[in-house]
Structure 1
């Protein structure tokens, strides 16, 4: 954030700068873990990178972390969530909230049944199966990485059901 005392339009004026600092609120993210698929859309739309995706110490763990010190309570994360499972709770600045970064969602990764490459969180796989494949068996190999999917199509292999 750049401060311009002359009041030009391309930079923030001193008055605007002070208004933003004085109105800054502490925040925390409340997540419905039962609805979250781990798609990561909230991290893409967060302008301050307060929400980040990472792998835990174990490479089979997918983590969504929240850093409250970076959050400016803009609400982009809440509005961009396709499952509507995020809620941004705003609190008065200086309240007794925990300012430490923390994991708010964690799930195991599904791996490619061909090569073992991590693909997506298990929560996402459950949603894909329940929404896309309601009519019956999958017609495309969703549990294969793009390379193994291409190989299986050229080799004519049948994907075994139930391996994820």
Structure 2
């Protein structure tokens, strides 16, 4: 049996199971400011903590939703090692992405991954879908929920 077929069989045994919980990541104001700089999104609710404290219900500045989403890559690396025979992994996109709660500057977040789908796309490609929930420490409502599609490419 090929490395891909072994990975498929192992993944099928974990369908519907939480397969990873990442380390906590602190979303600092510096991180928010740098994200604003590189994305050219310097809306004041992100980069002006004093104004955000005075004019929003958030008590200060909040992270960009896309910053929170972009940290999913780090969360994935915390949880998963390359599979035997894997040449690379490719982000294939997201389904049903929802931002449910703002991430305040200084908050800690982490990702929870549930394997929801897996299928062989070709002799070298395995499609895995993880339902991802990004939690905010000490809050009941998560920052975001989504289904994350990833292609695992295997050597021939």
TM-score range, shorter chain: under 0.3
Does 1 or 2 have the higher relative contact order (CA < 8 Å, sep 6+)?
2
Larger helix proportion of the pair: 2
Structure (1 or 2) with the larger CA radius of gyration:
1
Q: TM-score, normalised by structure 2?
A: 0.25
TM norm structure 1: 0.24
